[in-house]
Amino acid sequence: DGGITQSPKYLFRKEGQNVTLSCEQNLNHDAMYWYRQDPGQGLRLIYYSQIVNDFQKGDIAEGYSVSREKKESFPLTVTSAQKNPTAFYLCASSVGTKAGAKNIQYFGAGTRLSVL
């Protein structure tokens, strides 16, 4: 988990509330990713960013939003439109956009989001 910091570790959301999960990396990586993990479903990609000020939707982007204003930061907002937000959220980063052999994704320790 070194180099990628996710906060908070636990987060509770009230109905109708937006919440923001933080992801910071000090690895000087260009690319960053957000995944959602549910039991028995593996990891599903929410959003990813290949470079500052640019990001793309993943497989399950509805109800989520992101920004990439700085290279080291990629916050994820879970909006009130996400009706089933309870999950474990993982942030990852990798060297760059080119799918080269060294482009391994490294993960943070995760944030567990629950609904009150």
Q: Which residues bind another protein (CB under 8 A)?
A: 1, 4, 6, 31, 35, 40-45, 48, 50, 56, 58, 88, 90, 92, 94, 96-99, 101, 103-110, 112
User: Between residues 30 and 72, which has the closer beta carbon with respect to another protein?
Assistant: 30
- Location of structure tokens 């990713």: 33
Q: Which residues contact 115 (CB under 8 A, 6 or more apart)?
A: 12, 13, 14, 15, 85, 86
Cα Rg of the chain, angstroms: 13
User: Between residues 82 and 94, which has the closer beta carbon with respect to another protein?
Assistant: 94
Residue 88 neighbours by CB distance under 10 Å = 14
Segment holding 76, helix H or strand E: strand 76-78
User: Between residues 11 and 80, which has the closer beta carbon with respect to another protein?
Assistant: 11
CA distance 95 to 32: 9
User: Between residues 70 and 96, which has the closer beta carbon with respect to another protein?
Assistant: 96
